[in-house]
Structure 1
Amino acid sequence: MIDKNSPIPVYYQLKEDVKRKINQGVWKVGQCIDSERELSENYGVSRMTIRQALGELVQEGILVREKGKGTFVCEPKVKQQDMMSFSEMINKSGRNLVTKVLSFVKISTPEEFQDIFRFEQLYKIDRLRIVDDEVVANEIVYIPCDYCGYLDEEILKGSLYKLLEEFGYKIAYSESALQAILTEDKHKILFNTQENIPLLKSFSKTFTENGKILFLEESIYRSDKFILEVNISMREGKLK
């Protein structure tokens, strides 16, 4: 299984083989995989190599270590790294996405949004995002009625990004504020659970290329099902 003469590093070959076994169901979600000693014997490699491979799988959210118990297969999570729609992200992962529109109404622009939007009316779109039959996110989007053509609930079951591009808008970037929140009864109803679950609340503004705010979004994600990776870099010339 491991070709030590290959230019591909041994730890990487091992890592890919562990992933293959997980995908094939040899080790299922929640199951403890073989110990480091067993893996070392089975693959004929050092335990240091085993640790390196497993360490990367832990960082990628594929495995989790539990002290004194072993290393277990994690439940797959939705992972967002770049600027893309939720629909596009799920499609790329090969998983099944269903969008349920809870409400779609036209409202007078709330006072707290009047400094952002100079329009009298907004569409308020409340949607659940269901991945592989589990509710992962609740999204509430506010967008000026003047920005959109004809909309209905059926259209809103697809990608909002793609829909807005069809109306002539090109989405460039977003600004988000993130907050961990406690589970309330209303969240248990939304996410169809009786348990207290970790939740991540996001408030974001999405902009076009010329800096125009296209829509606002208030979202709540199950943070045990969703990973948001943020890349931060130092701007050149800012450090003296």
Structure 2
Amino acid sequence: MIDKNSPIPVYYQLKEDVKSKISQGVWAVGQCIDSERELVETYGVSRMTIRQALGELVQEGLLVREKGKGTFVCEPKVKQKNMMSFSEIIARSGMKLKTKVLEFEIMEDIEELKDVFNSEKIYRINRMRVVNGENIANEVVYIPCEYLEVKDKSVLEGSLYKILEGKGYTIVNSETSIQSVIMNEEYSKLFEVEKSVPLLKTYSKNMTEQDKVIFIEEAVYRSDKYVLEVNISSRGEGKLK
């Protein structure tokens, strides 16, 4: 299982083998994996190597350590790294996605959106994203009617990105603010949970290559099920906002 003569670091080989066992169901979600001592005997490597491999898997959210109990397999999370529709993220992860359209209406002369959109009529679309049977994300989208002609709201159960691309609008950039929010009674009902779970709220302006804002999205995610990875670079004129 481990080739010590390979140019690939031993800890990385071990890490990949543990990931493979998890994906194959050798260790199921919620199950405690072998102890460090057992892994040392199985793989014939040092305890330091074991700890490095497991430490990275903990950072990646595949494992969780519980003091005095052991290391357990985590439930897989929805992970977003770059500009990609939620539908595409779920499709790539192999999970099952269902989208519920909670509200759909046309709003007129919205004062707070006039600085963003030069449009008199704007769609407000409220959708719940259900992944593997659980409510994971609530998205409220504001988009001018001229960008998205909707004759049947069932079309909104799919990817808005793909609908917009079909009309010649490709989203390549997003200005997003992120904050944590506290679970309250409203969110508890919305996500259909009785226990308190961590939530992540985002507000984003989604734009074309010409910096034309196509839609605004206000979203709330269960951050115990969703991970948003942000890459920050100091190259060029990039700024932190």
TM-score, structure 2 length as denominator?
Answer: 0.94
User: Residue 32 of structure 1 aligns to which amino acid in structure 2?
Assistant: C
> 1:64 and 2:61 equivalent?
no
For residues 48-197 of structure 1, what are the structure 2 equivalents within 5 Å? 48-197=48-197
* Structure 2 residues without counterparts, runs of 5 or longer: none
Q: How far apart are the structure 1 equivalents of 2:153 and 2:35?
A: 50
User: Residue 198 of structure 2 aligns to which amino acid in structure 1?
Assistant: P
Equivalence for 1:37: 37
User: Residue 89 of structure 2 aligns to which amino acid in structure 1?
Assistant: M
For residues 208-223 of structure 1, what are the structure 2 equivalents within 5 Å? 208-223=208-223
Q: How far apart are the structure 2 equivalents of 1:109 and 1:176?
A: 24
Equivalence for 1:21: 21
Deviation of 1:47 (Å):
0.7
> 1:2 and 2:2 equivalent?
yes
Deviation of 1:237 (Å):
8.4
Deviation of 1:9 (Å):
2.3
TM-score, structure 1 length as denominator?
Answer: 0.94
Q: How far apart are the structure 1 equivalents of 2:37 and 2:233?
A: 39
Deviation of 1:79 (Å):
0.4
| Stretch of structure 1 that moved more, 205-214 or 229-238 | 229-238
**Preserved CA contact (<8 Å) 1:76 1:225:** yes
Q: 1:181 to 1:23 in 2, by over 3 A?
A: same
Q: How far apart are the structure 2 equivalents of 1:229 and 1:148?
A: 29
Q: How far apart are the structure 2 equivalents of 1:109 and 1:2?
A: 65
Structure 1 consecutive aligned stretches of length 4 or more whose deviation exceeds 4 Å: none
Q: How far apart are the structure 2 equivalents of 1:84 and 1:22?
A: 26
Q: How far apart are the structure 1 equivalents of 2:69 and 2:85?
A: 38
Deviation of 1:236 (Å):
4.8
| Stretch of structure 1 that moved more, 22-31 or 192-201 | 22-31
Deviation of 1:31 (Å):
1.7
Q: 1:151 to 1:173 in 2, by over 3 A?
A: farther
Output one character per residue of 1:70-92: Cα deviation in whole Å (capped at 9) or x when no partner: 21111100000011100111111
Deviation of 1:180 (Å):
0.6
Equivalence for 2:47: 47
Q: SS state of the match for residue 6, structure 1?
A: coil
Q: SS state of the match for residue 13, structure 1?
A: helix
**Percent of aligned positions with the same letter in both sequences?**
63
Equivalence for 2:198: 198
Deviation of 1:132 (Å):
0.9
Equivalence for 1:234: 234
Q: How far apart are the structure 2 equivalents of 1:232 and 1:95?
A: 28
* Structure 1 residues without counterparts, runs of 5 or longer: none
Q: How far apart are the structure 1 equivalents of 2:177 and 2:190?
A: 22
Q: How far apart are the structure 1 equivalents of 2:139 and 2:224?
A: 17
Q: How far apart are the structure 1 equivalents of 2:72 and 2:134?
A: 21
Q: 1:109 to 1:33 in 2, by over 3 A?
A: farther
> 1:12 and 2:15 equivalent?
no
Q: SS state of the match for residue 107, structure 1?
A: strand
Cα root mean square deviation, aligned: 1.5
